[in-house]
Structures are given as C-alpha cells and as structure tokens.
C-alpha cells in the first residue's frame, strides 16, 4: 500500500501543472525567457508585481512601464547567460512595479538546456531586497557617521555632546534613546512635551511604561501599524511606521506617528534603539481640510452640470404649459404637450435626486421595482443626442427587485454616460438584463440567492490595467473635465442596495460592468402583473398635512380624482384638530399623508407618531422632497405604509394607496 502511494506521488510530480503550482506558491519572482530575451512564462509573484497576466507578458521583452535603461540591462544579462551558459548572480537590480514604484531585487539568472545540452531558455529568480537594502544602508550610514565623528572629534567629545544636545533640543520631533533592554537613556525636550514627563522622571524606565497608547484606536494611514498592538521587542525592532493615540498623564491624548531605528554593535549585537515621535494631529487636520475642499469643488462641478440640465428641463416644462394654454383656448388636443411636460418633470426629479445623493449620501427609499423600464429610460436619456447606438437585450419574466427607483436610474445613467465618454467617435452600448444566481458568476465573492443581473458593455478604448482597481475611488478620473464622482456614486448606490458591481476591461477591447441586485422574494414581472390586475382600489377618508399650499392643492385634487374624500391642512395643530373632530363624528381618517419637513412646525415624523398614538389603525404615508431623509428609507420599518417622493404623479399616489 505504501509503495503504491509513493508511485502515485512520484507520478503526480511528473505533471507540469504541479511544478507550475509550486512555482506560483513561492514568494520570489520567477521569469522564463526564450531567444531574443522574450518572455515565455512568469510565476504569480512576478505577474502580481507587474500587474499583468501571462497572456499579456508573453513575447514581450519587458513591460512598457519599466525604465528603458533597466530593460536594456536585462537584455544584456540575458544574452550573457544565453551565450556563455554561465550562472549570473546580480546582487542588486532595479525593477519597476506596475504602479511606477522602483524596488531593488537580488537576481540569479541561469540557462535551461535541452536533452542535447543546447541552451534553449533562461530562467531568472528575483528576491525583493529593497527593505533590507534600505535598512542596511541606513545602518551603514549611521555607523560610518559615528565612526567618523569618533575619529575626528575624540578630543572634542564634550563639545560634541553639547552640540548634540542643542540639536536634539531644537527638533520638533520627540527623540527617545533606549538600551537593548528598552530602558530610557535619553529624552529631548520635544519628547518630554509629547509624553508629559521630564527626562529625570523617564530615565531608566521601560519605554513601554512611558509610551502609553490608547486601545481601540484605528490606524488612519494605509502604511501604518497600530502601535498599541506591539510589544517591546516588536516596537524596538519594527522598521514600519507606527501610529496611535498617545496618552499623557493629565488624561489627554495625542495622535502620533513613531519611527524606530535599531542600534547594532560591531559584533552584530543590539545596543538599543532610537525612537522618533511626531505629533501628526495638525497634519491630519490640514489633510482633512484639503479633502473637504476637493469634495466641495467636485460637488460644485456636478451641481453646475445639473443646474444646466435643470434649466433645459424648465424650458421644456414652461414651453409645454404655454403651448397647452394656447391649445385649450383654441379647443385643441394638448395631451401630447402635457406628456412632454410630465416627462421633463420626472427627469428633473431624477436630477435633484442625483444631487441629493451626492451631497447627503442617503439610504435608498425602496419599493418593489421592475428594472426593465427603469434601465431603458435611464440609458436612453444618457445617450440622447449622441452618436452611440443602444442595444437592449432583456430576458423574459425577469425578477423584480426591492430598490430605490431614482438611485437605480442614476446608477444606470452614470454607467451609460461612462460608456459614452469612452467612445467619443460613436460606438455601441449593449445592456443585458437577466435573472441570475451566484453560480452564474463563477469566481466572484457573492452571497447565494437569486439576483437581477444588469450588464453594461461598451466598444470603447477600455481601461488601462493600472487604473482598473481605482475606477470606483471617489474623485479619481482620467478625464480633464470629469469630477470623478460618477462611478463612485454607482458603487455607493449598489452597495446600499445590498448588491455587487464588477468590471472587466482590456485596453482597446471595451469595458463591461456587471451589476447584481438581490431579487425581491422571488417575484417576477409576470406574477406582479397578474396580481395588480386583480387589485381593486378602495375609497378612503384622507388627511393631507403639507406646509406648501400648492402641494396641498395638487395632492387634494389628485386624491379626489381617485375617488377619495380629502381634508388638507398646512399646520400640525390644524391637522390634529381635524383628526380629532373626524374621529368624534364617527368618520375617522383612514389614511394620512404627512410632509416630513415643515419649517417652524413639528416634524412630520413626530406628527405621525402622535397620530398613531391617537389611532393605531390609521395608515401613515410620509412625503418629502429629500430622498436622503432616513425616515423615507425606513418608513415601513417605522410602522408606516410607505414614503411618497416629491414630485409625484397620480400613478405614484395610486400605487402607494394600494398598500393601505
């Protein structure tokens, strides 16, 4: 049995795939080249460093982003190994990473021979020694400087000590020197201020006793380590930047960064460490102010564009109303003109929702939604007047989703605009809408369950590999006039809906964005159509509370048109009086529409709670022009029938009443 197992293992080791997996598992970079120094294969470490696949690397001499001089030296080294057959040891070799960072590697290049002994390929194995080299250079430099000082200034030791004290005292950074056991040997005035302790108080104490870090503080820099998590040896030997909230005896805290430099003796034994502490609170505040300024500038650019579009929509609305007025005087049919005005109003609503989402980042106001019409309208609007062709490929009997129609429309609009901008001379945008499950998107980290899948595909120039991982970053853009908020907004919207968004792109091969939104209780468009056809609208006694007289008038007219009895009030006190009177007369209100924002009056949420306290059976619908109001997003969870987003149509009012 053991011999059979050994034979199987030896047979398995004969497979090339096994060796490929072994090479992919090691941390060193492995690169195989053929004649003329052209790449044949690279292991995972090399591919990750270059940010390229084997298919992209194959037959290249080197990546295009590498320095020309570096590449030329690689070719000379490859030729030397190929022609002489010697193993070439390169102690330090500069290599450019895909993001432009140059690091140093120790590389060994060897020939690969065929069965006849002819050299067919070369293989290079490279180990990243950047950090080791930096540490060694730092230590060598420090050692050389100390030796030179000792040689030159032995007779002036006292003077040098005084000068060093002056230098240390003038530094704004805190300097702490400790011995190998971590006991404090030196403390400059800046360090005394930072730790709230004098040198006499700190001398001889363990450095961790005086560096008291507050627990639970998050590191704010991507390259920093939480200082609170480190023990003595880790602190003294760490070469990374540390960060934490440093406690001082009076009970205050300071945000600091810490750098440590170990001191090594001639025999290699540790002598101690020098710890540099810097107060970075002001630095962070300045960075925060700069980021806020950038955000304001970006939102200003966005608002300017929306204002331009909004004025265009107002021109359509005012023009259509004027034409309709003339038509009515002449007895003409004005339905088409009014339909244009209505469509412009809905587009204006979408623009205001977009601006509110950017400025406030509100939670979605969800309802069961058929994505087909939403996707078609948003895509058509985004491509109107452009040279880009739109192709829609929608499957039958699609899953419904529980989503915010305005935010989903905005996400689709932004994706299509992004595709359009990638094709300035025209092209094709294909949008596919279909049902999906986790198994339909292999390799993607998503939760099991049914999803509605939206795929937006363009025939544009694609996205450069170095930018693929940054396209969803706020304020990142490769366009001169872009604000960098479009795709960041899409990502935020999809996440708030519990969905996923992925992209695939290759330069000159177009880009594909895939959006997955959770399906709503396995409902499909055909099931909801059948259910809606069987619903009958009841007649209700309705109370409307809104501080705007125009909104009250339109709301009352809409409700009466739908067959309901209506009382409209503009103040909460009048609403309470009407509510009480109707109940006393045996004709209580069945439904109450409440505006959430009424300046100088009770908030709509408070009014709703008071009315429900008086009659738990009453159905409450909240209204607001702010789609980002949390009450709008959580209306059902708060015991209300739903939320009505302003501006609204008669169909929107009819639909929300169908849930009462």
| Average pLDDT estimate for 641-660 | 83
Interatomic CA distance for residues 563 and 278, integer angstroms: 72
pLDDT band at 300 (very low <50, low <70, confident <90, very high): low
Interatomic CA distance for residues 354 and 399, integer angstroms: 25
Check if 2-128 and 362-530 are the same fold.
Answer: no
| Mean predicted lDDT score pLDDT of the chain | 79
Per the CB < 8 A criterion, the answer to whether 110 and 32 are in contact is no
| Average pLDDT estimate for 260-281 | 82
Residue of higher predicted confidence among 75 and 241: 75
CA dihedral sign, ordered 163, 164, 168, 171: positive
Q: What is the pLDDT of residue 418?
A: 86
Q: Is the pLDDT of residue 228 over 50?
A: no
Q: What predicted TM-score, i.e. pTM, was given to this entire model?
A: 0.41
> What does CATH list as the number for 2-128?
3.30.450.20
Q: What is the pLDDT of residue 220?
A: 40
Highest mean pLDDT among 30-44, 223-237, 478-492: 30-44
Tokens of 659: 């849930």
Q: What is the pLDDT of residue 384?
A: 77
Q: Is the pLDDT of residue 332 over 80?
A: no
- For the chain, the structural domain boundaries read 2-128, 171-279, 285-359, 362-530, 536-657
Residue of higher predicted confidence among 651 and 162: 651
3-class SS string, 290-339: HHHHHHHHHHHHHHHHHHHHHHHHHHHHHHHHHHHHHHHHHCCCCHHHHH
Fold classified for 171-279 = Beta-Lactamase (3.30.450)
Buried b (16+ CB within 10 A) or exposed e, 551-586: bbebbbebbeebebebbbbbebeebbebbeebeeee
Buried b (16+ CB within 10 A) or exposed e, 62-86: bbebbeeeebeebeebbeebbeeee
Q: From the centroid of its chain, how far is CA 461? A: 23
Torsion angle (degrees, nearest 10) of CA 652, 653, 655, 660: 150
Q: What Cα–Cα distance (Å) separates residue 450 from each residue in 173, 208, 434, 500? A: 57, 53, 11, 13
Domain 362-530 of CATH type 3.30.565.10: yes
Q: What is the DSSP letter of 204?
A: T
Look-up of token digits 């950074």? 173
Backbone angles phi, psi at 551, to 5 degrees: -65, -40
Q: What is the pLDDT of residue 63?
A: 80
Tokens of 567: 């009382």
For 36, half-sphere exposure in the C-beta direction (CA atoms, 13 angstrom radius) is: 5
Q: What is the pLDDT of residue 297?
A: 57
What percent of the chain has pLDDT above 70? 76
| Average pLDDT estimate for 200-219 | 73
Q: What is the pLDDT of residue 541?
A: 93
Interatomic CA distance for residues 173 and 275, integer angstroms: 10
> What does CATH list as the number for 536-657?
3.40.50.2300
Q: What Cα–Cα distance (Å) separates residue 85 from each residue in 79, 109, 113, 432? A: 10, 10, 9, 56
pLDDT band at 89 (very low <50, low <70, confident <90, very high): very high
Helices in 456-544 by DSSP H: which ranges? 465-468, 486-496, 525-533
């Amino acid at each position: 049995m053991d011999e059979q197992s050994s034979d199987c293992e030896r047979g398995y080791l004969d497979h090339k795939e096994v060796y490929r997996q072994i090479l992919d598992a090691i941390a060193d970079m492995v690169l195989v080249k053929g004649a003329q120094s052209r790449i044949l294969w690279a292991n995972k470490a090399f591919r990750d460093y270059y940010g390229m696949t084997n298919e992209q690397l194959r037959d290249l001499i080197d990546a295009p982003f590498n320095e020309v001089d570096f590449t030329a030296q690689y070719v000379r080294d490859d030729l030397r190994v190929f022609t002489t057959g010697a193993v070439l040891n390169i102690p330090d070799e500069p290599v450019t990473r895909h993001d432009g960072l140059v690091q140093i590697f120790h590389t060994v290049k060897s020939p690969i021979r065929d069965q006849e002994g002819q050299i067919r390929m070369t293989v290079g194995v490279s180990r990243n020694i950047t950090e080791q080299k930096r540490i060694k250079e730092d230590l060598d430099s420090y050692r050389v400087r100390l030796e030179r000082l000792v040689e030159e200034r032995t007779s002036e030791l006292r003077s040098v000590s005084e000068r060093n004290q002056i230098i240390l005292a003038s530094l704004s950074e805190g300097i702490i020197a400790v011995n190998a056991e971590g006991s404090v040997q030196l403390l400059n005035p800046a360090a005394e201020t930072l730790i709230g302790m004098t040198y006499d108080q700190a001398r001889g104490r363990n450095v961790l006793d005086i560096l008291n870090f507050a627990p639970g503080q998050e590191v704010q820099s991507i390259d920093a380590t939480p200082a609170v998590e480190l023990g003595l040896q880790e602190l003294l030997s760490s070469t990374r930047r540390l960060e934490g909230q440093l406690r001082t005896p009076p009970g205050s805290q300071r945000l600091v960064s810490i750098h440590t430099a170990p001191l090594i003796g001639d025999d290699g034994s540790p002598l101690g460490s020098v710890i540099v502490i810097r107060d970075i609170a002001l630095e962070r505040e300045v960075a925060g102010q700069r980021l806020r300024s950038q955000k304001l500038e970006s939102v200003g650019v966005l608002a300017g564009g929306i204002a331009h579009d909004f004025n265009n929509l107002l021109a359509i609305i005012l023009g259509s109303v004027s034409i309709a007025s003339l038509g009515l005087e002449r007895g003409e049919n004005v339905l088409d003109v009014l339909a244009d005005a209505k469509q412009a109003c809905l587009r204006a609503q979408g623009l205001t929702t977009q601006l509110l989402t950017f400025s406030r980042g509100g939670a979605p106001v969800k309802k069961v939604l058929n994505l087909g019409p939403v996707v078609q309208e948003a895509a058509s609007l985004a491509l109107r007047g452009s040279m880009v062709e739109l192709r829609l490929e929608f499957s039958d009997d699609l899953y419904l989703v529980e989503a915010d129609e305005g935010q989903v429309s905005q996400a689709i609009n932004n994706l299509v605009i992004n595709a359009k901008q990638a094709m300035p001379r025209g092209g094709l945008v294909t949008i596919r809408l279909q049902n999906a499950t986790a198994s339909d998107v292999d390799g993607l980290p998503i939760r099991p369950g049914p999803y509605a899948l939206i795929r937006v595909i363009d025939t544009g120039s694609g996205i450069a590999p170095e930018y693929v991982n940054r396209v969803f970053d706020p304020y990142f853009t490769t366009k001169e006039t872009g604000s960098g908020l479009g795709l960041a907004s899409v990502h935020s919207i999809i996440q708030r809906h519990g969905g996923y968004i992925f992209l695939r792109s290759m330069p000159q091969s177009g880009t594909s964005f895939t959006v997955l939104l959770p399906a709503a209780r396995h409902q499909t468009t055909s099931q909801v159509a059948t259910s809606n056809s069987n619903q009958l609208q009841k007649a209700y006694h309705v109370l409307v509370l809104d501080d705007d007289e125009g909104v009250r008038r339109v709301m009352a007219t809409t409700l009466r048109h739908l067959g309901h009895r209506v009382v409209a009030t503009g103040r909460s006190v009048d609403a309470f009086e009407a509510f009480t009177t109707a109940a006393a007369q045996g004709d209580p209100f069945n439904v109450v529409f409440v505006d959430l924002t009424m300046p100088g009056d009770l908030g709509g949420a408070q009014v709703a709670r008071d009315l429900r306290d008086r009659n738990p059976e009453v159905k409450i619908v909240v209204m607001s022009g702010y789609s980002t109001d949390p009450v709008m997003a959580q209306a059902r969870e708060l015991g209300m029938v739903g939320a009505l987003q302003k501006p609204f149509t008669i169909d929107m009012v009819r639909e929300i009443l169908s849930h009462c």
